[in-house]
Amino acid sequence: MGLSFRIFAADHGDKWPWQVPENEGGSLELASKQEGPWRHFLTLSNELNHPRLLWCPMDPEKRPATAFGASATNREATVFSGNGNISYFLALTPTNRNQSGEQADDILAGDRNVTLDGQPVSAGEAILRGGHLIGFQANTLHRGLGQLLKADGTVWQQRTRLLNPPASVTNRLLVP
């Protein structure tokens, strides 16, 4: 997933899908709608090998999609059609660098069992600020562990992490 985001950004002037207009292959016009992350992930259909990559096998509440679109040759496909096919949150405003120019906590996506300051984040939108503690629910998915995809393409597996950017740095999380 991280490589797909990086390829998309490289092809679109270092912009993420939600920063690129729909008529140029992005999802800019959808960024303000409360639809969750699925339409933003849909823009990666050319870069992702398969929509199943957006589903975690440990996630019993979500169903993997088997195709990005309907096909006359594969009528039994589960078409990628909503947040029910996604196990990961999406962060719409990752920061690549903090004010001193050092690598910031630039979270791009992560496991949907996320917590902020110890409180579970439910489906919908949440605001993540610098100085908050991000973690993962102990009784779901990976037993308190989670993965965070950073804007540079790296993935961190962890239980909790105190975010370093100043409190003025915010990130909108869309949780499926």
The model's pLDDT over 140-173, given as tens digits with 9 standing for 90+, comes to: 787 778 888 988 888 888 888 766 655 666 788 8
**With b meaning 16 or more CB within 10 Å and e meaning fewer, what string describes 61-84?**
ebebbebbeeeeeeeeeeebeebb
Q: Which amino acid is at 74?
A: N
Q: How would residue 84 be classed by pLDDT, with cut points 50, 70 and 90?
A: very high
Q: Which amino acid is at 27?
A: S
Half-sphere exposure in the Cβ direction for 57 (13 Å, CA) = 0
**How far apart, in Å, are the Cα atoms of 85 and each of 27, 75, 89, 107, 108?**
18, 18, 12, 21, 18
* Domain boundaries, given as residue ranges, for the chain: 2-85, 88-175
- Among 28, 169, 24, CA closest to 100: 169
Residue 1: is its pLDDT beyond 80? yes
Q: Which amino acid is at 161?
A: R
What is the rounded CA–CA span in Å between residue 148 and residue 89?
9
Q: What is the pLDDT of residue 74?
A: 67
- Among 55, 37, 64, 41, CA closest to 176: 37
Q: How would residue 103 be classed by pLDDT, with cut points 50, 70 and 90?
A: very low
